[in-house]
Structure 1
Amino acid sequence: MVVRFLLSLVCLLFVACAGRNGSGGEMSDSGLHFPDSMDVKWTYVTGDDMMPNPRCFAVDDSCVYVLGDAGGRSLFVYNITTGEEMGSYIDRRSHIGELTNPYGLSIDRSTGDFGVFNLGMTDRFLVRYSPEYEPKVLYRVDSVFPINDIVLAPDDRVIAVSLVYENGEPTGRQAVSLLDVADGVTLIGSCDELLPVIPKGLGREISVSGSGKRVASIIRNSGFLETYEITGDSILRTSHNNYFPIEVSDDGIAHVNHNIQYGFRCVAVSDDYVYAVYSESKAEGDPVTTVGVWDWNGNPVKKIKTDKNVSDICVSPDGSRLYCTSKFRSSICTINYIDL
């Protein structure tokens, strides 16, 4: 009887392990399970030691736009097919304001306008530029609330990460907010209910779909991934997960070693999927090479293991390609793509 029981137990354990680690999926140490996994190699587009250190980048059907800082210019444009540099644009100083720290880049797909987020210590704003790179308007959203990230959206709207205060005191929460900028800056809606308190020292990053109807958010160097849907004037959180718990001190400060790239690094979206770059390694110097794919209900879809250390990602307008910036030999940055 004992032998029969032990044999049955072994069989059950074998079946359980096969279910977790079968060829159809992959389970990570964090418990993050993807039903599909693939290995890919990035295809080179352009890059050399003369490319400005990218802070952010975006693509359309014909060009790659790199936000950097060189020669008093902030935007550098490359042919998406040949990799040829087509020019540098956007003076840091213009008649509507000075970009002291150009940090984020977005494109309004309905107009072709560019948005550059200036992340100053005390001066945070978004500048809208025409498709010809001429400054059009400056949005001082921090007159409504303090912000950590902001992007252009269709229909004269912007979407921002706003710091939540109660009775004049910071709560540690960061809301995703929808604003109308057709005439001034007006708050339309904000999703700040049931938000986690973000450990001090960490920041939220957002990516908005081309339609402007869907938003994904990560908290860098941690495991928070959230999705939102915009319907009319309301914004609703549709999923929330914390895949990579981190250590936090008693006074709420995150224990982050910047030589270790643990947790999420960056996020990009299409109208169909969410793509987030992450690492589960806690070893110093390990590259960040993995891209996770989720649907808009927050369900893991696919794990993409790549051959390069990924700094940032964006998706082509038709959702067919994923682009990345990658650095090697410390000074050379390249732009690459994979077909999705």
Structure 2
Amino acid sequence: MNIMKRLTPLLALVCIASTGFGSSVLAQGEFGYDVELDVVYGKGIVGSDGVLVERDLLLDVYTPSANNADYTKSDAVADTPRPAVILVYGGGFQRGGRRHAPYSEFDAIHSRMEDYAQLLAPLGYTVFVIEYRLAPELPEPHMALDADWVVTIEEDLTDAGMRRVNFARDSLGLGPLEGEDGKVVVWKTILSAAEDLEKAVEFVRSSSFRFGVDPDRIALGGHSAGAATVINAAHGLDVPVTAIFPLSPPLSAIDLSKTVTTSDETPTLHVISQYDEPAVLEKAPGFTAAMRNAGADYELVWVPGFPHFYPHNTPSLGDDGTRKALSVRLTDFLDKHLKQ
């Protein structure tokens, strides 16, 4: 047998080449997508040895490929410019990454943002998985801590929310954040994360030709802290996106009375699980009521039987009585808002 014929599929999976943009390309076309790693999308200020410094903010890009017809819809790569999805990982604003081992809790393992990217890219979406500044870096936001779209620190950072923050810190071997000073660190991180996501949206829109995406068809999604960041960016900072899907969002900083007021709010697929974190469950009713009272395009989805972590192929129950795999419900939602 020709040895090159045997190696070609493997080479397609592991070949890494320079792109000329300070990043690298990991060719995985046999799975219906290619990956470009470590693309700089902006800069953010963090604390280092008592001094404020600026660091690069990075993302990974998952681009649809037609190389595997079994995993790619026939029209997935023909539609250019393509719709885009920007994904934000969770971790209590303390931990996480773009290529990170999955978290588990009560024997439940969640799907990472890269898992969602690998689901969506073969279906014709160009997907960007971003990093953002985390609390151990001591980020400094540009906006004021009492910006006009946010609630007060005391109102947002509840006891349940701070317990989840410190749960994440404990997993890193870090001490708890306590008192007013600890809350200020978390608050700065929440606002910095929203700013970083806003920068990512600006980058994708300004680089639409490079990535072959439509700047007017962008969705945001994230889990946990990433989901809160998605809500803060879309409904607080009013970033120009078409739809969002926050998965189990806690600690949302937005003042609902000021930010969710009209039927023109960004269409939202809001997911929570049956045994979700108290920090999630205590926030969900207020957001749901605000979106429905405003007459916005809003779906509430419940994942039965799972805690805060759950896989994207788990069954989900819609507020319209439907039962679907979460992955199917998500792709239906994105197809409706980004492909029609």
TM-score (norm. length: structure 2) = 0.28
The structure in which a higher percent of residues are helix is 2
Which structure has the greater CA radius of gyration? Answer: 1
- TM-score, normalised relative to structure 1: 0.28
